[in-house]
Amino acid sequence: MITVKGEATLFCKLLSDCRCRDDSGSPLDLDAGLQQCLELLQTISLRQAMVFVVGNGGSAAVASHLVNDLCNSGGVRAMTLHEPALLSCYSNDYGYEQAYGLLLERMAGSDDLLLAISSSGESANIINAANTMRKLGGRVVTFSGFGGENRLQRLGEINFWLDSAHFGSVEIGHLFLLHHLADRLSNSGVGDE
């Protein structure tokens, strides 16, 4: 049996082993990757551009939490794309795999940012969303786990990957990293302008 202390130790190791890569696949130091992501969020905020955040299941809950923090504390224009009526409309009419991508085609522009969250890094709708944002000329940052060579972690200009196949650990790890970014953004004072 793993104890709470044991779980905490495993989680700390998961975060300390987080891998970050740039868009060419070259490794980035985790702190450098987080700093680049923070600077990207600051730029988006100053330009009054949008941050779109997508995920499925628990990752959708992480996305919603992040949007709360970005809007409320960070002063960033941000939204998820999983409003139930709209998402079910697009899923019904075009298929779930296409829904986020088509919504981005209608809502996003080249100044905007997509934060794509997928524990497995293999969710077709999240991959399609990242590809759509890239085609629009927008920016993409990914958060994934599971397989070390999942497809999603090749689609962002900054890609964070957690070495775990446990949904709960990956989701909480992503939430920790994203909360850290939102806190740093809030403390930077960018959203106060």
Asked whether the beta carbons of 69 and 78 are under 8 A apart, the reply is: no
Helix (H) or strand (E) holding 93: helix 84-94
User: Does a structural domain hold residue 31?
Assistant: no
Establish if 35 belongs to a structural domain. no
Query: What confidence score (pLDDT) does residue 182 get?
Result: 96
Residue 6: per-residue pLDDT:
84
CA 95, distance to chain mean position in Å, is 22
Judge contact between 119 and 170, C-beta under 8 A.
yes
In a domain, 109, yes or no: yes
Give the structural domain span for 75: 40-187
Tens of pLDDT, residue by residue over 28-40, are 999 999 999 999 9
Looking at residue 1, what is its pLDDT?
67
Whether 85 and 157 have beta carbons less than 8 Å apart is answered as: no
State the pLDDT at residue 120. Answer: 97
List the CATH number of the domain containing 44.
Answer: 3.40.50.10490
The pLDDT of residue 165: 94
Please state the domain count of the chain: 1
What are the pLDDT tens digits along the chain (193 aa)?
Answer: 678 888 889 899 999 999 999 999 999 999 999 999 999 999 999 999 999 999 999 999 999 999 999 999 999 999 999 999 999 999 999 999 999 999 999 999 999 999 999 999 999 999 999 999 999 999 999 999 998 899 999 999 999 999 999 999 999 999 999 999 999 999 987 755 5
Q: Tokens representing 44?
A: 């988006």
What is the pairing mode between strands 50-54 and 113-118?
parallel
Q: What are phi and psi of 43, to 5 degrees?
A: -65, -45
- For residue 17, is it within any domain? no
Integer Cα distance of 77 and 70 in angstroms: 7
Quick one: tokens of 157?
A: 């200009």
Identity of the amino acid at 128: N
Q: Quick check: 176 and 18 in contact, CB under 8 A?
A: no
